[in-house]
Structure 1
Amino acid sequence: MEISSKKPVGRFREVIQAPKKVVRDPRFESLCGTLDVDGFKKRYNFLYDSELPAEKERLKNQMKKTKDPQALSGLKERVAWIEKQLKSASTKHIDKEILAKHKKKEREAAKQGKQPYYLKKSEIRKQQLVEKFKELKASGKLASFIEKKRRKNASKDHRFMPYRRPTDNQQET
C-alpha cells in the first residue's frame, strides 16, 4: 500500500544523523609519525633481494603452463609490476650511492676548511649515466645500447624533418 502524496508532511520529522566517519590518511597525519626511509629500506630490503625475484620466477613458470588468456594477462601485468619495482629500487639505490659518495667527499673537504659544494640534479644525472655506461660495458651490452639510442635519436630527427615540396613537373602528373 502506498502513502498518498497529496497529504501534507508533518511539520516535525525525526531525522537520524549518522555519525560522520573521519578518514585518516597516514601519509599526512602527524598521529602516525614520520617516515624513516633508511629504517624502511633496512626492514623491507628482503622483499627486493629475495621475495620479488622469486615471485617473478614463479609467475613466469605459471605463464608457461596456463592456457587461459585472462589469467595470462593478469600474470603478465603482475610480472611487469614486479620488474618495474625492481628497476626503480635499483635506480634509487644507485642515486643514493652517488649522493653518499659525494657527501663523504664534501665532509672531508669541509674538515680541511673548504666551502661545501652541493650537486645539481643535472650533475647527478650525468653521474648516473656514467654509472650506467660502466655497468653496460662490464656486461658487454654497451654497443647494443648505443645503437638503440642512435636509432631512437635518428627517428626523432626524421620526424621533425620537413617534407620535400613537390616540384612543378610532379604536380602536373
Structure 2
Amino acid sequence: MEIQPRANKNRPAQQSTKRAVSTLRVAPGLSASAGAGKSGRDPRFDAVSKGAVDEHAWRQKYGFVFDKQREEVRQLKSTLASAKAAAKAQHAGAPGAKRKRRKRGASAAALPPHEVEALKLELSRKSNQLMAHDQAAERQRLKSAVRKKEVVAVAAGKRPYYKKAREIREEQLTEQFQQLEKSGRLDNYMAKKRKQRASKQRKALPTYSDYTT
C-alpha cells in the first residue's frame, strides 16, 4: 500500500484506526452528488398541505373526542368518590357505613395515595381541556349569532356593521357573567379572579434581592 505524502509534518501519515467510520458515508462506486437532487418529502410540511385551519369545522368533525372525554371525566369523578368513601369508612371503622354498603352491594376499595393523586391530576387535566373546548365553542356560537344578525340587517337594506374584537369580547364577558350568576358560581369565580390578581401583584413587588444586587 502506497502511503500518500503528508501535507504537513505534524499530520499523521495515515488515518488513525481509533477514529470510527461514519455511518453516513458514501457507498463504494457512488458519488456524493448522485442523490443531491433528491430529498425526502413530508406531506405535513409540504406547501400543498399548508393553509388556515378552520377551528369551527375541526371541532364539529372531532366532537366525538370531547364527548368521550366527558364520559372519562364522569368515570374519574365516580372512581374518586368511591375511593374517598371507602377510605373514610376504613379509617373511621364505622360499622353502620359497612352495613349500608353491604345492602347496596358495592365493593369499592380504598386506593393508595399515589393512585388517588394520579387520578386527581388526570381529572384536572381533562377538565381543563373540556373547559377550553367549551369556551372556544361559546365564542364561535356568539360569532355565528352576530354574523346571522348582520346578514338579516343587510337583507333588510341596512348598512352592514362589523363589530370589533373588543365589542365581541365584552358581549362574551357579559353572557359569561349572566351564566355564572344564574348557576350560583359567581362568588367563587370572582374570589378566584381576585386571588389570581393578588398573586400577580405580589410577584410584581420588589424583593430584598432587588435592592442588594
Fold conserved (TM > 0.5)? yes
* Structure 2 gap segments, 5+ residues each: 1-11, 16-26, 84-109, 207-213
8 Å contact kept, 2:154–2:160: yes
**Structure of larger gyration radius:** 2
Give the corresponding residue for 1:107.
151
Higher relative contact order (CA 8 A, sep 6+): 2
Of 51, 71, 79, 1:54 maps to 71
Tell me the CA shift for residue 23 of structure 1: 2.4
Of 31, 48, 51, 1:30 maps to 48
| Secondary structure in structure 1 of the residue aligned to 2:28 | coil
In structure 2, how many angstroms separate the alpha carbons of the residues matched to 1:153 and 1:74? 29
Give the corresponding residue for 1:41.
59
8 Å contact kept, 2:66–2:130: yes
In structure 2, how many angstroms separate the alpha carbons of the residues matched to 1:149 and 1:34? 34
Give the corresponding residue for 1:21.
40
In structure 2, how many angstroms separate the alpha carbons of the residues matched to 1:46 and 1:20? 38
In structure 2, how many angstroms separate the alpha carbons of the residues matched to 1:156 and 1:74? 28
Of 107, 122, 127, 2:171 maps to 127
In structure 1, how many angstroms separate the alpha carbons of the residues matched to 2:48 and 2:203? 51
8 Å contact kept, 2:73–2:123: yes
Give the corresponding residue for 1:67.
112
Deviations 1:26-46 (A, max 9, x none): 6x5525998565554333222
Tell me the CA shift for residue 85 of structure 1: 1.9
Report the TM-score, using the length of structure 1 for normalisation: 0.64
In structure 2, how many angstroms separate the alpha carbons of the residues matched to 1:39 and 1:157? 40
In 2 relative to 1, CA 53–159 (structure 1 residues): closer, same or farther, beyond 3 Å?
closer
Deviations 1:112-165 (A, max 9, x none): 222211121111111111111111011112233234434554665677689xxx
- Give structure 1 regions of 4+ aligned residues with deviation exceeding 4 angstroms: 5-8, 15-20, 31-39, 60-66, 71-77, 150-162
- Report the count of equivalent residues: 154
Give the corresponding residue for 1:144.
188
In structure 2, how many angstroms separate the alpha carbons of the residues matched to 1:52 and 1:101? 27
Of 139, 157, 171, 1:95 maps to 139
Say if 2:135 is the partner of 1:118: no
RMSD: 4.0
In structure 2, how many angstroms separate the alpha carbons of the residues matched to 1:61 and 1:6? 75
